[in-house]
């Protein structure tokens, strides 16, 4: 019997704060057979105390639904957690020093793997040259992905291991060249290393109150063995749930996704690249480059894929960041709806990952076509603002249009929040904060709406409307938090005043004002089974 199939305990949690729309003043909850059985007040909890296997005294702690991270690359996240992380390197010189130190302590690695450099944040704005990396590694194979994972710098030794790329020009590799060196680098990771990286990533997610991750795999991202191994690991061991998406195109892709156990031929099916790597596909040229990026799929390609997925009963999904890429998705999905029927397309809940450069027209189309926007608020926190990477690439005026979460909500577009880890770290409360305190005025949403997008939104994105919320009958996926006083935060003060009135029935959330400490996860439970307990608790 696996850890997943062992019968979960019946548990009473009491003397805390339970975040539930069923009772905004709930202080107790009963979990039975892996589901929420009851939520209510402390006085009523006594009636359940004798009939449970365990009583948990919350001692004032907050209980919320577990978070769902709707866009994760699990193995890469684990390798980043255990490998070379350049995300905090303040300069090119500091990054090269980290590479030298890492190479020195990993003498047996066939290929050195690192992630997270961002030259746009360094003085001079220059990435490392191949010669500099060759010197720093002593001539060993090295793969260093940029923070957006849409380009990489490598050593000569890795190029020599990659068919057809030995004479590649210096500088970051993008598109097919990047996919080729990435495949060569990750081929050197042993099955045991891969499994350990997956365990590390899932354990880290659980420690942050994440109960479910959406794995976005595909032939240009990972391998079939990586994907099926992760799904098998998640099914057999205690940890977060893993919902798998396999990004492969057309009828063959649909068949492969089904064969591999994926929920959809979706996730990072690339329509374009990323803004930081100048590969997001734009209608007008970049401000700092004389081109419009890279288009990997056309509207006709999108339409054919959506038709194939809809007819097969699977979700379709696309990675689209630039405005031209988002337009291609909208035009393609609309053409598919004309062929198979709008109702069937809407019912399938097809997804768009990232969807950063939106217009009122494309937002309205998302609502019309029933598309879920799977978005990453941490992108704005990291790259937004008047002098951020978005403004460098697009100019301040275009940069201000990015990630318009409030407009998406007003239009009725379903939101599912994620991290795209390892692009930005797994950090659910930080993600909610980033959406509530958006760097562009008018794009932020209430903390409550952001919290919903990061809990219930992820479940709705996989077709489940009965989960991600603590009400009787819902899956018992929850997290316990140590936090300060609960409040209601909203961009509009009139909304905030009404929401804090007891008549509104709005349960409070932690104060996420920038600079304040974020909640600390004490315990995470998935399907009634504990998957994380903070040491010392």
pLDDT tens digits along 394-411: 999 999 999 999 999 999
The residue-averaged pLDDT of 352-381 equals 98
Compute the Cα dihedral for 111, 114, 120, 125 and give only its sign.
Answer: negative
Confirm if 20 and 39 have CB atoms less than 8 A apart. Answer: yes
Instruction: Give the rounded percent of residues in the chain with a pLDDT score beyond 70.
Output: 96
Local confidence band at 505 (pLDDT 50, 70, 90 cut-offs): low
CA distance 439 to 382: 10
What average pLDDT does range 177-191 have in this prediction? 87
Is a pLDDT exceeding 80 seen at residue 257?
yes
Q: Tell me: the pLDDT tens digits for 137-152?
A: 999 999 999 988 888 9
Separation of alpha carbons 303 and 451, rounded Å: 33
What's residue 188's pLDDT? 83
- Cα angle 461, 467, 469 (rounded to 5 degrees) comes to 115
In which band, very low, low, confident or very high, does the pLDDT at 1 lie, cut at 50, 70 and 90? very low
Residue 2, pLDDT above cutoff 80: no
Residue 353's pLDDT band, with cuts at 50, 70 and 90, is very high
Judged by average pLDDT, the poorest of 76-85, 274-283, 364-373 is: 76-85
DSSP string over 165-209: -TTPPSS-EEHHHHHHHHHHHHTTS-HHHHHHHHHHHHHHHHHTT
Q: Can you tell me the distance from the alpha carbon of 209 to that of 510, in angstroms, rounded to the nearest whole number?
A: 14
Per-residue 3-state assignment (H helix, E strand, C coil) for 329-356: HHHHHHHHHHHHCHHHHHHHCCEEEECC
Q: Using one digit for the tens of pLDDT, what is the confidence trace for 271-288?
A: 999 999 999 999 999 999
pLDDT band at 293 (very low <50, low <70, confident <90, very high): very high
| Mean pLDDT of the 499-504 span | 43
The predicted-structure confidence for 330-345, as pLDDT tens digits, reads as follows 999 999 999 999 999 9
pLDDT digits (tens, 9 = 90+) for 22-76: 898 999 999 999 999 999 999 899 999 888 999 999 999 999 999 999 999 999 9
8 A C-beta contact, residue 81 and residue 419: no
Q: By C-alpha distance, which of 143, 70, 63 is closest to 103? A: 143
pLDDT in tens, 187-245: 888 898 899 999 999 999 999 999 999 999 999 888 999 999 999 999 999 999 999 99
Mean residue pLDDT across the chain: 93
Residue range 103-126: average pLDDT? 91
How do residues 462-495 score in pLDDT, each as one tens digit? 999 999 999 999 999 999 999 998 987 765 544 4
Residue 6 banded pLDDT, cuts 50, 70, 90 = low
Whole-prediction pTM? 0.91
Is the pLDDT at 502 greater than 70, yes or no? no
- Residue with token string 């809990």: 455
Closest by Cα among 511, 275, 517, 270 to 384 = 275
In the predicted structure, residue 500 carries a pLDDT above the cut 60 = no
Rg of the chain over all Cα atoms, to the nearest angstrom: 23
- Whether omega for the bond prior to residue 105 falls within 30 degrees of 0, making it cis, is no
- In the predicted structure, residue 503 carries a pLDDT above the cut 80: no
**pLDDT over 50 (residue 501):** no
- At 164, is the pLDDT very low, low, confident or very high (cuts 50, 70, 90)? confident
The pLDDT score that the predictor gives to residue 523 is 98
pLDDT of residue 134: 95
Residue 496: pLDDT band with limits 50, 70, 90 = very low
The confidence score (pLDDT) of residue 18 equals 97
Dihedral over alpha carbons 252, 255, 261, 262 (to 10 degrees): 60
Check residue 352 and give its pLDDT. Answer: 98
CB atoms < 10 A from the CB of 508, how many? Answer: 18
**Three-state SS at 23:** coil
Residue 381 — very low, low, confident or very high, per pLDDT cuts 50/70/90? very high
Q: What does the pLDDT read at residue 222?
A: 86
């Amino acid at each position: 019997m696996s850890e997943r199939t062992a019968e979960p305990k019946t548990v009473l949690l009491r003397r805390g704060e339970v975040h539930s729309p069923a009772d905004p003043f709930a202080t107790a909850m009963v979990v039975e057979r892996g589901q929420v059985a009851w939520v209510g007040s402390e006085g009523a909890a006594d009636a359940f105390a004798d009939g449970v296997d365990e009583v948990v005294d919350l001692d004032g702690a907050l209980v919320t639904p577990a978070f769902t991270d709707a866009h994760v690359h699990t193995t890469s996240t684990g390798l980043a957690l255990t490998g070379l992380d350049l995300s905090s390197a303040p300069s090119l010189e500091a990054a090269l020093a980290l590479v030298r130190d890492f190479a020195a302590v990993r003498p047996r690695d066939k290929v050195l793997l690192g992630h997270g450099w961002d030259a746009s944040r360094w003085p001079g704005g220059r990435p490392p040259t191949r010669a500099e990396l060759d010197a720093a590694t002593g001539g060993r194979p090295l793969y260093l992905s940029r923070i957006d994972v849409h380009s990489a710098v490598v050593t000569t030794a890795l190029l020599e291991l990659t068919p057809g790329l030995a004479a590649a020009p210096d500088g970051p590799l993008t598109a097919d060249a990047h996919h080729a060196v990435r495949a060569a680098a990750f081929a050197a990771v042993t099955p045991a290393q891969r499994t350990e990286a997956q365990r590390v990533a899932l354990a880290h997610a659980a420690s942050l109150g994440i109960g479910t991750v959406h794995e976005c795999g595909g032939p240009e991202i990972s391998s079939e063995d990586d994907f099926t191994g992760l799904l098998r690991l998640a099914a057999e061991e205690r940890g977060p749930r893993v919902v798998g998406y396999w990004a492969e195109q057309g009828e063959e892709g649909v068949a492969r996704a089904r064969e591999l156990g994926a929920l959809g031929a979706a996730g990072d099916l690339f329509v374009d690249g990323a803004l930081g790597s100048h590969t997001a596909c734009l209608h007008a040229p970049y401000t700092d480059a004389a081109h419009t990026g890279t288009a990997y799929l056309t509207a006709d390609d999108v339409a054919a894929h959506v038709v194939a997925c809809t007819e097969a009963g699977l979700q379709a999904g696309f990675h689209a960041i630039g405005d031209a890429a988002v337009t291609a998705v909208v035009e393609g999905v609309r053409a598919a709806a004309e062929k198979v029927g709008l109702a069937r397309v809407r019912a399938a809940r097809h997804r768009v990952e990232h969807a950063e450069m939106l217009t009122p027209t494309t937002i309205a189309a998302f609502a019309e076509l029933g598309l879920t926007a799977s978005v990453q608020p941490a992108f704005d926190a990291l790259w937004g603002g008047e002098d951020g990477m978005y403004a460098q690439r697009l100019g301040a005026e275009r940069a201000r249009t990015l990630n318009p979460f409030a407009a998406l909500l007003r239009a009725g577009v379903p939101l599912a929040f994620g991290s795209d880890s390892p692009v930005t770290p797994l950090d659910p409360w930080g993600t909610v904060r980033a959406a509530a305190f958006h760097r562009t005025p008018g794009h932020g949403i209430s903390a409550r709406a952001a919290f919903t997008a990061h809990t219930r939104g992820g479940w709705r994105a996989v077709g489940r409307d009965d989960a991600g919320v603590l009400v009787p009958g819902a899956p018992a996926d929850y997290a316990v938090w140590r936090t300060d006083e609960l409040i209601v935060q909203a961009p509009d003060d009139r909304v905030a005043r009404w929401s804090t009135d007891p008549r509104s029935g709005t349960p409070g959330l932690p104060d996420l004002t920038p600079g304040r400490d974020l909640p600390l996860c004490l315990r995470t439970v998935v399907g009634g089974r504990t998957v994380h307990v903070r040491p010392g608790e």
